[in-house]
Amino acid sequence: MNKLINSPKTLLADALRGFAAAHGQLSVDFENRIVFSAAPREGRVALVSGGGSGHEPLHSGFVGAGMLDAACAGEIFTSPTPDQILAAAIRVDTGAGVLFVVKNYTGDLLNFEMAAELAREQGIEVASVIVADDVAVEDSTWTAGRRGVGTTLILEKAAGAAAARGWSLEKVHMLAERIADAGRSMGAALTSCTVPAVGKPSFDLPEGEMELGVGIHGEPGRKRVPVMSAAELSHVLAETITTDYDFSGKPVIALLTGLGGTPLIELYAMFAEVSDRLKERNIKVARSLVGNYVTSLDMAGCSLTLVGADDEILDLWDAPVNTPALRWKD
């Protein structure tokens, strides 16, 4: 497997160095592996997220005005550590409190939970929201619960806008919970992914087959099936997601993210099908985003996220944002 790297050991540090070189408006704490915004935000709630690396641009690409204040980068597919998250909270807290945006993976939950305890011991007010939107995982007390995927981006955007408007921590937290509750995702992989330090694909996926309901760390999916056309796959994703949550009567924010190894032209072809499937179900897509936003290294495939929104959430989605990976004006 050819990789454009110096060495697996230095990949994360090298990427952070490149991130700093490319985005001078942001600051990078190399020791703690934190990307943060040093712009003054007196009295405003701060948003801190993070997770294993390998999902770029999530989360570091979403740091900046109107979105995250800091992102903590863990090792590839490994959650960041509590001391790292604490350092991020200390850097960006203005006294108005910090919201942790956490994806539902055991490592992320435990480390953010410890970080929240440490931050509170230092007098920082912390609230946490957990994104668990992957309908491919059966949600039961017998599993670690649903994984967090694409809803994370939509939540970070809207909650970041709310924080920028000066909302209190309690209000930003409630909004975040509302979005987390109303988001559903499901993905499919056409290839596995290769963790550079491992050097071989995380799972074996023969030519001509695909994995439905795959996770973003190379976790296996719901089932292995022969490769489907975009139209066929759109039926499965739309049906599974809309069966799990009632989106009728709500304006929907739709995200179709590539998993890192699928070209944009295929993603748009896929979105055409997804859009038709949603129309057939009388689901109104009010806003949409197509591209590589929540990825899994070099995995080919896509993941569809729908969030049931309302006027307030749409207004927050439309608010200006200026980050490396998401940028628009009024």
Cis upstream peptide for 57 (omega within 30°): yes
The answer to the question of residue 111 lying near other proteins (CB under 8 A) is yes
The answer to the question of residue 315 lying near other proteins (CB under 8 A) is no
Q: Which two tokens stand for residue 53?
A: 């690396």
- Write out the H or E segment, with its range, that includes residue 265: helix 264-280
The answer to the question of residue 100 lying near other proteins (CB under 8 A) is no
Q: Which two tokens stand for residue 109?
A: 């939950």
The answer to the question of residue 303 lying near other proteins (CB under 8 A) is no
Site for other proteins in 5-24 (CB under 8 A): none
Number of residues that bind other proteins (CB under 8 A): 32
Which burial class, exposed, middle or buried, applies to 329 when counting CB atoms under 10 A from its CB (0-12, 13-18, 19+)?
Answer: exposed
Q: Contacting other proteins (CB under 8 A), which of 54, 64, 66, 80?
A: 80
243 contacts 235 by C-beta, under 8 angstroms: no
217 is catalytic: yes
CA proximity to 302, closest of 263, 272, 330, 329: 263
Toward other proteins, which CB reaches closer, 138 or 232? 138
Residue labelled with tokens 């994360």: 12
| 286: number of Cβ within 10 Å | 17
- Write out the H or E segment, with its range, that includes residue 164: helix 151-164
The answer to the question of residue 79 lying near other proteins (CB under 8 A) is yes
CA separation for the pair 56, 76 (Å, rounded): 11
Toward other proteins, which CB reaches closer, 203 or 245? 203
55 is catalytic: yes
Binding mask of the shown chain, residues 250 to 289, with x at each position contacting other proteins by CB under 8 A: ----------------------------------------
Toward other proteins, which CB reaches closer, 49 or 84? 84
CA separation for the pair 260, 189 (Å, rounded): 10
The answer to the question of residue 29 lying near other proteins (CB under 8 A) is no
CA separation for the pair 132, 134 (Å, rounded): 6
Q: Minimal distance in Å, beta carbon 108 to other proteins? A: 9
Q: Contacting other proteins (CB under 8 A), which of 113, 125, 244, 315?
A: 113
Q: Contacting other proteins (CB under 8 A), which of 10, 25, 143, 243?
A: 143
Q: Which residues bind other proteins (CB under 8 A)?
A: 74-75, 77-84, 105-107, 110-111, 113-114, 137-138, 141-144, 147, 197-198, 202, 215, 217-220
